[in-house]
């Protein structure tokens, strides 16, 4: 076994943020980084930059000089990504635990917030669309708050 392979296997065996080591599986031209049975990223030798590897994981991507460096970059992102995902799952469980009509109003409020963020992030701003998104968000928040108050008063 080469020194490179030993370093590579040592690195994959000691990655933090995963309950088990990351395994690398070849899938066509890509190499998939898998942890706990879940694909968390990929890397591939770059065609644009010879000798470099392009990687992507957890909504972030970049270039590294070796496979081991790609795995290390993916390893750094895994704990934050898992914490964010756990937070999202807890929020979804909280929404699911709400009774109607609060659940529907909370979902509509979140959709309005997303539409508003999309409008704010546009490169070419459309003032009428932004105003409409802001108004829809305000209305959704007011509807949710009033339903929440009505439920509290009824209790």
Angle, vertex CA 128, rays to CA 125 and CA 130, nearest 5:
60
Omega within 30 of 0 (cis) for the link into 101:
yes
* Average pLDDT value for residue range 23-49: 71
Radius of gyration of the chain (CA): 22
pLDDT at 1 over 90: no
Going from N- to C-terminal start, the domains of the chain cover 3-83, 91-154
pLDDT tens figures, 67-77: 888 888 888 88
Q: Where are the beta strands (DSSP E) in the chain?
A: 23-27, 30-35, 38-45, 53-57, 60-64
**φ, ψ of residue 44 in degrees (nearest 5):** -150, 150
- Residues sharing a CB contact under 8 Å with residue 132, sequence separation 6 or more, in sequence order: none
Residue-level pLDDT at 106: 92
């Amino acid at each position: 076994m080469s020194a490179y392979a030993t370093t590579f296997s040592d690195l994959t065996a000691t990655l933090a943020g995963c309950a088990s080591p990351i395994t690398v599986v070849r899938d066509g031209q890509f190499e998939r980084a898998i942890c706990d049975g879940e694909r968390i990223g990929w890397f591939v030798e770059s065609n644009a930059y010879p000798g470099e590897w392009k990687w992507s994981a957890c909504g972030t991507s970049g270039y590294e000089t070796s496979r081991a460096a790609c795995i290390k970059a993916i390893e750094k992102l895994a704990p934050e990504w898992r914490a964010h995902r756990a937070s999202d799952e807890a929020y979804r469980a909280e929404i699911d635990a709400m009774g109607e009509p609060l659940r529907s109003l909370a979902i509509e409020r979140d959709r309005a917030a997303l539409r508003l963020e999309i409008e704010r992030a546009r490169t070419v701003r459309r003032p009428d669309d932004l105003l409409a998104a802001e108004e829809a968000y305000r209305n959704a928040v007011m509807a949710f708050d009033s339903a929440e108050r009505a439920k509290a008063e009824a209790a």
